[in-house]
């Protein structure tokens, strides 16, 4: 991982993603982890970090692929034709794909939501992650609900060499979650749509 954080913070993220554990978070002197109840407040916090470019640098919002998006097609339910993320009190469009610069380097994308398709392999200084309805907290564990994902590439069953079809959605969606959770070099902000997950994150991290 390229994030500049203590081993305890790195372990916290790894345990959250791959073990489904929300462990108590020990304050990190060199890395900021914040949990938000208000998605628009997280958006504003990311905008503030991005504005303070000299000290904080490039910052963006990203989300799990839990809201509809069809590349090359307009959303007929909206006058502007854009596909959007609705998370709590926040409504912003999914990442635009046109432009000579990478998505995160275009100024206007501070008011868009990135995905694994636009942010993978790219470092941000602060990353605000919206955990959509595919990421829940039930029976004391973080659980992936693949039916709530809009990523058919991850949720469609794969055919094995034997001809048998296998559901590998949980593994693929966890790997995507890990990409999102590790984009911020200096900080990770989290808003969870799932009420139980949001409450557990607050209980363990505040």
What confidence score (pLDDT) does residue 56 get? 57
What confidence score (pLDDT) does residue 53 get? 56
158 band by pLDDT with thresholds 50, 70 and 90: low
What confidence score (pLDDT) does residue 201 get? 98
What confidence score (pLDDT) does residue 157 get? 60
Could you give the CA distance from residue 53 to residue 179 in angstroms, rounded to a whole number? 23
Per the document, the length of the chain is 206
As to burial, measured by CB atoms within 10 angstroms (0-12 exposed, 13-18 middle, 19+ buried), residue 201 is buried
Q: Where are the alpha helices (DSSP H) in 120-194?
A: 152-155, 169-181
What confidence score (pLDDT) does residue 202 get? 95
In the chain, the domains with their CATH numbers are 7-205 (3.40.50.300)
- DSSP class of residue 94 equals B
Which pLDDT tens digit goes with each residue over 167-186?
A: 678 899 999 999 999 999 99
- CB count within 10 Å of CB 63 equals 25
Phi-psi region of 36 (alpha: psi -120 to 50; beta: other; left: phi over 0): beta
User: Among 83-87, 126-130, 163-167, whose mean pLDDT is lowest?
Assistant: 163-167
Which pLDDT tens digit goes with each residue over 38-62?
A: 999 999 999 999 986 555 579 999 9
């Amino acid at each position: 991982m390229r994030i500049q954080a203590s081993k305890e913070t790195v372990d916290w993220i790894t345990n959250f993603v791959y073990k489904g554990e929300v462990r108590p978070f020990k304050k990190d002197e060199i890395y900021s982890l914040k949990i938000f109840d208000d998605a628009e407040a997280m958006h504003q916090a990311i905008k503030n970090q991005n504005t303070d470019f000299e000290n904080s640098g490039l910052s963006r919002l990203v989300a799990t692929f839990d809201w509809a998006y069809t590349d090359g097609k307009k959303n007929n339910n909206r006058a502007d034709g854009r596909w959007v993320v609705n998370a709590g009190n926040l409504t912003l469009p999914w990442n635009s794909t046109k432009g000579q610069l990478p998505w995160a380097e275009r100024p206007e994308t501070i008011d868009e939501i990135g995905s694994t398709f636009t942010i993978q392999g790219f470092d941000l200084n602060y990353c605000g992650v919206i955990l959509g309805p595919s990421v829940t907290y039930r029976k004391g564990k973080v659980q992936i609900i693949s039916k709530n994902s809009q990523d058919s590439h991850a949720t469609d069953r794969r055919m094995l060499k034997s001809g048998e079809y296998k559901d590998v959605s949980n593994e693929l969606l966890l790997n995507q979650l890990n990409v999102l959770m590790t984009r911020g070099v200096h900080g990770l902000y989290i808003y969870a749509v799932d009420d139980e997950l949001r409450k557990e994150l607050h209980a363990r991290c505040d």
